[in-house]
């Protein structure tokens, strides 16, 4: 019942945004719906905690604690994003940068996007997950190209081409899982293909042919890895995330990539039992370290905030991959916490960068200076957000990174931790240096204060800043207080680590 509700809710939103042109009321309604989604997610999690996994519509949909966790993440980020969407839309209309029709279309697509992500996490069939993930690409292409200028079109072109190819490869991987499952007597070609169901696969994963599963998992990792932003097909990510409007970037960077990783996790669980843990471990380490190296190298010379944040996403996905490589229950729980923490903080930062674009007119590092002086609150949010993103306590990324690394070392991956710490230190230095340019700046403080007051009369809106501050506090809270998240995390991790 709850699952139905969770799917009906965004469908209603879609319907509403189809029927009505955009208005503040509609925006607020949608934000409220997304909040409701978050609440439903939490309720679902509690339900599952007491009664076990739930299914809906002839077991087409299935939710265990992992799914419910992802629903919470999606709900949370969607809520934040839809709040900022209101501000974004008002400004767009006020500046005549977009027509009402464009805004309405944007709203519709965003809601579809949210729906597809939800669909992905509550689908019981791994093939339907694929369908949903592919659908997210379709829904977001136009959102990436929202500006319709040269850069945005280029980004959306790259985005759809690279992601379609990548996700296509994931489909090949899924086919091989299906193939393996069919050969152990899973029924084929009925209207309800049980043999592609996650529950069936995980239950019978011992019987699956390891070699085929290995082959399939390679494709899965390469394919969904594309969508996650892992090397080698990560290249679309900085372009798309930087060109999309801030609320969309928040959603993409905050949840979309982790939804893709969620899928990898599901397949990893099957692979681990079928083949043995070492296999996915090796692959994930290779991919993770490569991505981390890439993110580090490319962060060094960043000139633009949103690109910088995008590379940060690659970094964090790499960290998550490495954490998943460790594979123990704590490691997976930490990975999940990282998914939540990263999503939250990244969304906050993207929204903050969107606000900067509104108030400062640019997100280029060179053009932003001494933000902390003339926009203390916005600058402060951005700065603290970056600190949170860099994994400093009390924010949750610290706890999760700590736990991931600890588990990595405890399974004998000390060298991985060593390498990643070195790379992260470089990232830290680089990001702090960028942050200095943005927040503190070089020019004499008083002068900037005067000139900036004249040239930037737009103030950061409370509508934006309040949720962001609350979000940061939330991020700190989940990093410090165990209850009630830890139980959920651990039981969700059990789904993966067995």
Q: Does 201 bind another protein (CB under 8 A)?
A: no
Closest separation in Å from C-beta 8 to another protein = 19
Half-sphere exposure of 410 (CA within 13 A, CB side): 12
For residues 448 to 477, the per-residue mask of contacts with another protein, x marking binding by CB under 8 A and - elsewhere, is -x----------------------------
| Distance from C-alpha of 15 to C-alpha of 161, rounded to nearest angstrom | 29
- Is the Cβ of residue 449 or residue 458 nearer to another protein in the bound state? 449
Looking at 99, 211, 455, 466, which residue binds another protein (CB under 8 A)?
A: 211
- Is the Cβ of residue 34 or residue 313 nearer to another protein in the bound state? 313
- Residues 312-331 binding another protein (CB under 8 A) are 330
| Distance from C-alpha of 145 to C-alpha of 150, rounded to nearest angstrom | 9
For residues 366 to 395, the per-residue mask of contacts with another protein, x marking binding by CB under 8 A and - elsewhere, is ----x-xx--x---x------x--x-xxx-
Looking at 219, 262, 350, 382, which residue binds another protein (CB under 8 A)?
A: 219
Collapse the DSSP code of 98 into the 3-class scheme (helix H, G, I; strand E, B; otherwise coil) and give the result.
coil
Question: Would you give the DSSP letter of residue 439?
Answer: I
Question: Is-contact 129 173, C-beta < 8 A?
Answer: no
For residues 61 to 100, the per-residue mask of contacts with another protein, x marking binding by CB under 8 A and - elsewhere, is ----------------------------------------
Please count the residues of this chain forming the interface with another protein, following the rule CB under 8 A.
127
Helix (H) / strand (E) element for 161: namely helix 150-182
- Is the Cβ of residue 15 or residue 57 nearer to another protein in the bound state? 57
Return the range that interacts with another protein (CB under 8 A); candidates 92-100, 121-129, 257-265, 461-469.
121-129
Q: Does 138 bind another protein (CB under 8 A)?
A: yes
Q: Does 444 bind another protein (CB under 8 A)?
A: yes
DSSP 301-370: T--BHHHHHHHHHHHHHHHHHHHHHH-SHHHHHHHHHHHHHHHHHHHHHHHHHHHHHHHHS--BTTT---
- Residues 149-168 binding another protein (CB under 8 A) are 149-151, 153-158, 160-162, 164-166, 168
Question: Is-contact 341 392, C-beta < 8 A?
Answer: no
Helix (H) / strand (E) element for 236: namely helix 236-243
Q: Which residues contact 120 (CB under 8 A, 6 or more apart)?
A: 129, 132, 133, 136, 259, 262, 263
Strand partners, 123: 61
What angle separates helix 257-275 from helix 126-144, to the nearest 10 degrees? 150
Strand partners, 412: none
Q: Does 439 bind another protein (CB under 8 A)?
A: yes
Looking at 23, 29, 199, 209, which residue binds another protein (CB under 8 A)?
A: 209
CA diameter of the chain: 75
Looking at 5, 202, 300, 419, which residue binds another protein (CB under 8 A)?
A: 300
DSSP 242-268: HHS-HHHHHHIIIIIHHHHHHHHHHHH
For residues 391 to 410, the per-residue mask of contacts with another protein, x marking binding by CB under 8 A and - elsewhere, is -xxx-x-xx--xx-xx--xx
- Is the Cβ of residue 40 or residue 176 nearer to another protein in the bound state? 176
> Between vectors from CA 264 to CA 259 and to CA 270, what angle results, nearest 5°?
135
Return the range that interacts with another protein (CB under 8 A); candidates 65-73, 136-144, 258-266, 454-462.
136-144
Return the range that interacts with another protein (CB under 8 A); candidates 40-48, 84-92, 120-128, 460-468.
120-128
- Residues 169-188 binding another protein (CB under 8 A) are 169, 171-172, 175-176, 178-180, 182-183, 188
Q: Does 276 bind another protein (CB under 8 A)?
A: no
């Amino acid at each position: 019942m709850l699952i139905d509700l969770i799917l009906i809710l965004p469908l209603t939103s879609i319907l509403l945004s189809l029927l009505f042109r955009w208005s503040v009321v509609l925006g607020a309604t949608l934000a409220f719906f997304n909040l409701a989604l978050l609440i439903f997610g939490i309720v679902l999690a509690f339900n599952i905690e007491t009664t076990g996994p739930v299914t809906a519509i002839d077991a087409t949909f299935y939710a265990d604690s992992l799914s419910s966790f992802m629903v919470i993440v999606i709900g949370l980020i969607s809520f934040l994003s839809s709040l900022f969407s209101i501000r974004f839309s008002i400004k767009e209309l006020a500046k005549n940068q977009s027509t009402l029709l464009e805004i309405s279309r944007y709203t519709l697509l965003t809601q579809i996007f949210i729906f597809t992500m939800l669909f992905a996490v509550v689908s019981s069939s791994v093939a339907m997950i694929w369908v949903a993930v592919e659908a997210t690409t379709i829904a977001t292409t136009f959102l990436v190209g929202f500006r319709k200028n040269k850069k945005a079109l280029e980004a959306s072109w790259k985005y759809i081409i690279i992601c379609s190819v990548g996700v296509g490869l994931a489909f090949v991987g899924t086919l091989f899982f299906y193939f393996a499952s069919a050969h152990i007597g899973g029924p084929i070609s009925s209207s309800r293909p049980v043999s592609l169901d996650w529950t069936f696969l995980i239950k019978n994963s011992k019987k699956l042919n390891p070699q085929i599963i290995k082959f399939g998992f390679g494709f899965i990792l390469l394919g969904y890895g594309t969508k996650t932003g892992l090397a080698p097909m990560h290249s679309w990510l900085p372009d798309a995330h930087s060109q999309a409007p801030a609320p969309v970037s928040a959603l993409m960077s905050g949840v979309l990539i982790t939804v893709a990783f969620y899928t990898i996790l599901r397949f990893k669980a099957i692979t681990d039992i079928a083949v043995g843990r070492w296999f996915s471990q090796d692959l994930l380490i290779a991919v993770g370290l490569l991505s981390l190296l890439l993110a580090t190298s490319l962060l060094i010379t960043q000139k633009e905030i949103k690109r910088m944040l995008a590379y940060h996403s690659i970094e964090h996905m790499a960290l998550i991959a490495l954490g998943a490589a460790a594979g123990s229950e704590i490691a997976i729980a930490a990975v999940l916490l990282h998914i939540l923490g990263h999503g939250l903080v990244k969304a906050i930062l993207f929204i903050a960068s969107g606000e900067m674009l509104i108030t400062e007119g640019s997100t280029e590092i060179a053009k932003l200076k001494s933000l902390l002086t003339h926009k203390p609150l916005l600058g402060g949010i951005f700065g603290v957000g970056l600190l949170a993103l860099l994994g400093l306590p009390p924010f949750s990324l610290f706890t999760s990174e700590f736990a991931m690394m600890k588990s990595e070392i405890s399974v004998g991956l000390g060298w991985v931790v060593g390498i990643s710490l070195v790379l992260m230190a470089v990232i830290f230095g680089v990001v702090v240096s960028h942050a200095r340019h943005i927040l503190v700046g070089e020019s004499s403080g008083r002068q900037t204060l005067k000139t900036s007051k004249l040239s930037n009369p737009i103030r950061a809106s409370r509508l934006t800043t309040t949720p962001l501050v609350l979000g940061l506090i939330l991020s700190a809270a989940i990093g410090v207080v165990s209850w009630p998240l830890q139980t959920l995390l651990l039981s969700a991790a059990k789904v993966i680590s067995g």
